[in-house]
């Protein structure tokens, strides 16, 4: 009995994470009229990364789960760093992940008039003042968590003077940095965010939506909670670094809310991934300095990079499900993400054959000029996926690594006198290898056993090794980009003494030309599709690819061959 109760409670805690539990309780209590409205609030100052995907899955996912809505709100309060290019990319990435905000596309800048009015009201009520000090002076007076701060000499200005100065700040009469508007709260508060936080600063850079209409811009803490309130957001879910901001969030919301409705902030742990960085500032630096080829470089932890790399939305969402939401910071292994990618691609990727490092094999007893067509399964994991045809002829390519002249004992691939099966085709036996004057193998001679093709009496004959191959005459040349981890340090963010750029993996991209594709792969090399190159890994055609210059990105190696390659 005790056992069954325990199982039941484990079951219920597994089905709802702690944020969902809070939402479920609020809905049950009928808070906010029983409404659920979340928001995803990106700042359009960069492309979204996998960390944002975690927030997106939470914000949109919880709304879907409980029949609520989720707003997309651009947190565009700093015109210096923001741009429409980022707005567009963010929308594309959210849609690609499979979420939709309907007609609820909002901008913090939509609320600039209301925020300005609130600031005027707080000034009139003696709750805000204009400070003429520099940001350095203000920072120096802030104190420390154990030492109280010092009050600004401008703290007790009259309401009239504050009103006049703030309006003139917005009229453009003062230079950037000359003055700020601060909330008059408590310079001795235990919470540093209550020590007269800055509400507005002067910025004279045009805004991507409001142009030059404003010369003062609200700080995050003065914009976020109120924007939530203006929009009717009920649950403002964010990451743990905002825990100490929450009292200030509530403080400003108190100026607006009544007992019928108020938004609340809930925090969960950020996604951090090994062998990469998640800071937008650092990602921007990689892009600007040309250390990667753009925000969507397939080595980047960005959603657009992962899309170009061939990751699927399902694999990213499954990964985020796997790691879950907690209240403790953690570092998640990139291997887990890669596992989720393999798991999904195994189900959806079409199988084909490509030889990355080709060596020619001549089947000496196969009649010259003869060819035949073999039927290949498109995906053994998907019974509805059908088959495609693959030509076979006297000369084929196999991987150079699949032949050894003097093999060790457990080498089950091709060697003189040995037999292997050509995947989906005949068993061949190596007779000898042809070398150039330097001793390099240029060609391998084999004979085939005509009885071993599928459907023939000898097709059940067992040999230890099976190789992928491509008919030489029919092969189409392609370029393949092999990607590896962007950094060679597990947690670059944890090495403050080292410039993160010095930790970049110099071998994160290898370009291989002269790869031999079976015709089916060449004909279907359309960007956005997923293939498994048999025995090698998962690949996706790059958007650069053209019929005359086919380019595939390696999404990820097959686990086994990766391990094997590493152990060699």
* Contact residues: ligand ATP, CB under 6 A: 41-43, 45, 51-52, 54-55, 75, 238-239, 270-271, 278, 280
Residue 17 beta carbon to ligand ATP: minimum distance, rounded to whole angstroms: 14
In the complex with ligand ATP, the residue whose CB is nearer, 286 or 390, is 286
DSSP state letters, 166-182: HHHHHTT-S-TTS-EEE
For residue 531, give every residue at least 6 positions away whose Cβ sits within 8 Å of its Cβ, in sequence order, or none: 349, 350, 351, 352, 521, 524, 538, 539, 540, 552
| DSSP run (H or E) holding 88 | helix 84-97
Q: Give CA separation, 82 vs 53, 71, 86, 475, 477, in Å.
A: 20, 20, 7, 48, 42
In the complex with ligand ATP, the residue whose CB is nearer, 238 or 427, is 238
In the complex with ligand ATP, the residue whose CB is nearer, 42 or 61, is 42
Residue 77 beta carbon to ligand ATP: minimum distance, rounded to whole angstroms: 10
Q: Give CA separation, 203 vs 165, 208, 301, 488, in Å.
A: 15, 13, 31, 39
For residue 226, give every residue at least 6 positions away whose Cβ sits within 8 Å of its Cβ, in sequence order, or none: 111, 114, 115, 118, 252, 253, 256
C-alpha closest to that of 516 among 554, 479, 556, 566: 479
Q: Identify whether the C-beta of residue 565 lies closer than 8 Å to the C-beta of residue 383.
A: no
For residue 533, give every residue at least 6 positions away whose Cβ sits within 8 Å of its Cβ, in sequence order, or none: 352, 353, 354, 356, 468, 521, 539
Give the Cα separation of 396 and 468 in Å (integer).
10
In the complex with ligand ATP, the residue whose CB is nearer, 75 or 399, is 75
Look up residue 255 and give its DSSP letter: T
| DSSP run (H or E) holding 107 | strand 105-107
Give the Cα separation of 306 and 295 in Å (integer).
10
The residues carrying an active-site annotation are: 43, 270, 280
C-alpha closest to that of 391 among 524, 549, 520, 526: 520
Residue 33 beta carbon to ligand ATP: minimum distance, rounded to whole angstroms: 25
Give the Cα separation of 544 and 521 in Å (integer).
16
Residue 207 beta carbon to ligand ATP: minimum distance, rounded to whole angstroms: 17
In the complex with ligand ATP, the residue whose CB is nearer, 87 or 128, is 87
Residue 58 beta carbon to ligand ATP: minimum distance, rounded to whole angstroms: 8
DSSP state letters, 425-459: S-EEEEEEEEE-TTS-EEEEEEEEEGGGSTTSGGG
Give the Cα separation of 245 and 55 in Å (integer).
18
Residue 48 beta carbon to ligand ATP: minimum distance, rounded to whole angstroms: 8
Residue 491 CB coordination number (10 Å): 15
Reading the block at residue 385, the tokens are 């996926």
Residue 90 beta carbon to ligand ATP: minimum distance, rounded to whole angstroms: 8
Residue 280 beta carbon to ligand ATP: minimum distance, rounded to whole angstroms: 4
Residue 265 beta carbon to ligand ATP: minimum distance, rounded to whole angstroms: 10
Half-sphere exposure of 13 (CA within 13 A, CB side): 6
In the complex with ligand ATP, the residue whose CB is nearer, 54 or 307, is 54
In the complex with ligand ATP, the residue whose CB is nearer, 219 or 363, is 219
Backbone angles phi, psi at 91, to 5 degrees: -65, -45
Backbone angles phi, psi at 273, to 5 degrees: -120, 145
Give the Cα separation of 180 and 139 in Å (integer).
13
In the complex with ligand ATP, the residue whose CB is nearer, 239 or 431, is 239
Outline where DSSP puts E strands in 190-341: 198-202, 216-218, 235-239, 264-268
């Amino acid at each position: 009995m005790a056992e069954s109760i325990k199982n039941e409670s484990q079951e219920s805690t597994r089905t709802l994470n702690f944020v969902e539990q809070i939402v479920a309780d609020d809905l049950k209590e009928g808070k906010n009229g029983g409404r659920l409205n979340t928001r995803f609030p990106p700042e359009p100052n960069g492309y979204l990364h996998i960390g944002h995907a975690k927030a997106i899955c939470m914000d949109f996912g919880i709304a879907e789960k409980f029949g609520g809505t989720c707003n997309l709100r651009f947190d565009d309060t700093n015109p210096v760093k923001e741009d429409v290019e980022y707005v567009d990319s963010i929308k594309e990435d959210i849609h690609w992940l499979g979420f939709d905000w309907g007609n609820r596309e909002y901008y913090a800048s939509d609320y600039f008039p209301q925020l300005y009015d609130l600031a005027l009201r707080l000034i009139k009520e003696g709750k805000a003042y204009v400070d003429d000090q520099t940001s350095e002076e203000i920072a120096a007076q802030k104190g420390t968590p154990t030492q109280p701060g010092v009050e600004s000499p401008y703290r007790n200005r009259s309401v009239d003077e504050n009103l006049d100065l703030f309006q003139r700040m917005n009229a453009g009469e003062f230079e950037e940095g000359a003055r700020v508007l601060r909330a008059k709260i408590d310079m001795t508060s235990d919470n540093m965010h209550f020590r007269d936080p800055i509400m507005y600063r002067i910025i004279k850079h045009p805004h991507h939506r409001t142009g030059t209409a404003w010369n003062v811009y609200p700080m995050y803490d003065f914009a976020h909670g109120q924007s939530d309130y203006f929009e009717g957001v009920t649950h403002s879910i964010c990451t743990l670094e905002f825990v100490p901001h929450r009292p200030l969030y509530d403080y400003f919301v108190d100026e607006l809310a009544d007992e019928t409705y108020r938004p609340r902030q809930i925090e969960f742990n950020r996604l951090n991934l090994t062998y990469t960085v998640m800071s937008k500032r650092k990602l921007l630096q990689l892009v600007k300095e040309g250390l990667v080829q753009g925000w969507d470089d397939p080595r980047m932890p960005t959603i657009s990079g992962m899309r170009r790399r061939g990751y699927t939305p399902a694999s990213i969402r499954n990964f985020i499900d796997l790691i879950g939401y907690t209240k403790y910071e953690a570092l998640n292994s990139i291997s887990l993400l890669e596992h989720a990618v393999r798991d999904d691609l195994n189900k959806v990727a079409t199988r084909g054959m490509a030889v990355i490092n080709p060596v020619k094999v001549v089947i000496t007893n196969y009649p010259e000029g003869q060819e035949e067509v073999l039927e290949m399964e498109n995906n053994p994991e998907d019974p509805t996926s059908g088959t495609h045809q693959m030509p076979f002829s006297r000369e084929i390519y196999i991987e150079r690594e699949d032949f050894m002249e003097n093999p060790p004992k457990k080498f089950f691939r091709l060697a003189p006198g040995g037999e292997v099966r050509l995947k989906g085709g005949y068993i061949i036996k190596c007779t000898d290898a042809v070398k150039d004057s330097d001793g390099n193998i240029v060609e391998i001679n084999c004979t085939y056993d005509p009885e071993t093709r599928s459907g023939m009496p000898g097709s059940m004959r067992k040999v230890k090794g099976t190789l992928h191959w491509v008919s030489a005459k029919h092969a189409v040349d392609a370029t393949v980009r092999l990607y590896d981890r962007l950094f060679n340090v597990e947690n670059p963010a944890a090495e403050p003494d080292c410039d993160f750029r010095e930790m970049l993996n110099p071998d994160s991209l290898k370009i291989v030309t002269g790869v031999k594709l079976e015709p089916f792969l060449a004909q279907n090399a359309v960007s956005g599709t997923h293939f498994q190159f048999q025995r090698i890994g998962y690949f996706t055609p790059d958007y650069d690819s053209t019929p005359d210059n086919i380019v595939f990105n390696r999404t990820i190696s097959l686990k086994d061959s990766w391990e094997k390659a590493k152990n060699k």
